[in-house]
Amino acid sequence: MSSALPTVPPRASRAPHAPARGRRRPAILTLALGVALIVALIVTTGVGQLNVPPLQVLGTLLEPFGIRGLPTPELDTVQRGLWTIRFPRAAMAAIVGASLAVAGLLMQAVFGNPLAEPGVVGVSSGAAVGAGTCIVFGINAFGEWTVPAFAFAAGLLVSLAVYALSRAEGRTEVVTLVLTGIAVNAVAGAAIALLTFLGDTQSREQIVFWQLGSLAGSRWSQALICAVLLAGGMFAAWAVSHRLDLLALGERSARHLGVHVERLRLFTIVVVALLVGAAVAFAGIIAFVGLVIPHLMRMILGPAHLPLVTASALGGALLLTLADLGARTLVPMADMPLGILTSLVGGPFFFWMLRRTRRTSGGWA
């Protein structure tokens, strides 16, 4: 018999290397985002009304290790300003951005929808009601921590209320959860409008400015609280990433594979409430970070949630760091609210991503 075995096309011989390239992609993206974030933090902390060279900023950061930057006549003043004003603000920008992005990723996983974002469960609107109540009625139970404490507690309580109201016969349907969140957000919006009506001119200005989001006046103590909650939230997200992958197959399939869907959903919503509640309590309402960044990372990396957690955190930190730079520098001698900037940039960008996803795959990339 003279028949010969079919030859393997050259393209097929390279096919086994494709999974290896796919496995390297998360590592490459994580490294690129990490380097970009470090560079952005060094550059942004040196830009402002008083420009500081990047080498001087880096030297100030490394001074505890005996390394100093370029000497300047105002060295002590510059270092004091960096450590007390710009470094805490840059740290808060990175931490809040990472928190919102990880929360958005978890919400998209729970709802199985790329349009889901942390505000769906009412945490942002609930926090706004808590903060507005303190501002209008002059509550000062915890001194300067009163507004953040009330905002955090109200956001967490509203999120748990949305989950409790959406349960029926021991189960929670995603559609019911979304509709309940919409209703609760509407009620919270009416409460905010009522508080704005009842407050005086100064209270109204504070409520409006708080709702627009800002990192002005950030301190190390605030950054530490948000960093602790971010670390806990990321560990929790890593721990449930495999179960979120199974949930993406559908609730019925996930249950057959041993996933307790209700317990996972409740746990995830609590984690989201903690992450977003802390971020909103100190920075106000900042839109689109938790919506755009997870969607973009999913388009690049695919559906596996373990690498998406890290990539989303770094992407959110980078985005809000750059957005805060724009908020401080775009308008001379003024501090632009962050929420305005992220909405102006995030809205058109997210619309472009939706169009691209629909054109290429017709679904969730």
Percent of the chain with pLDDT over 90: 40
pLDDT above 50 for 9: no
pLDDT tens digits for range 90-121: 999 999 999 999 999 999 998 887 777 888 88
Residue that wins the pLDDT comparison between 311 and 52: 311
Residue 169: pLDDT band (50, 70, 90) is low
Q: Which residues contact 106 (CB under 8 A, 6 or more apart)?
A: 237, 244, 268, 271, 272
Averaged pLDDT, 24-47: 93
Averaged pLDDT, 272-277: 90
In this structure, are residues 311 and 33 in contact, taking their beta carbons and an 8 Å threshold? yes
pLDDT of residue 67: 59
CA 9 to CA 147: how far, in whole Å?
67
Percent of the chain with pLDDT over 70: 87
Residue 350: pLDDT band (50, 70, 90) is confident
pLDDT above 60 for 285: yes
pLDDT of residue 19: 54
Mean of the per-residue pLDDT values of the chain = 84
pLDDT of residue 321: 95
pLDDT of residue 5: 42
CA 28 to CA 163: how far, in whole Å?
38
CA 119 to CA 181: how far, in whole Å?
8
For the chain, counts of helices (H) and of strands (E): 15, 2
- Of 84-88, 133-137, 140-144, 255-259, least confident by mean pLDDT is 140-144
In the chain, the domains with their CATH numbers are 84-360 (1.10.3470.10)
pLDDT above 80 for 290: yes
- Find how far residue 77's CA is from the centre of its chain: 33
Residue that wins the pLDDT comparison between 255 and 69: 255
pLDDT tens digits for range 20-31: 556 788 999 999
pLDDT of residue 119: 81
CA 238 to CA 300: how far, in whole Å?
19
pLDDT tens digits for range 185-198: 899 999 999 999 99
pLDDT of residue 17: 47
In this structure, are residues 177 and 113 in contact, taking their beta carbons and an 8 Å threshold? no
Residue that wins the pLDDT comparison between 35 and 336: 35
Residue that wins the pLDDT comparison between 14 and 58: 58
Residue that wins the pLDDT comparison between 77 and 124: 124
pLDDT of residue 69: 53
Rg (C-alpha) for the chain, rounded Å, is: 23
CA 65 to CA 59: how far, in whole Å?
10
Of 278, 273, 314, 280, nearest to 296 (Cα)? 314
Averaged pLDDT, 220-249: 94
Averaged pLDDT, 138-142: 85
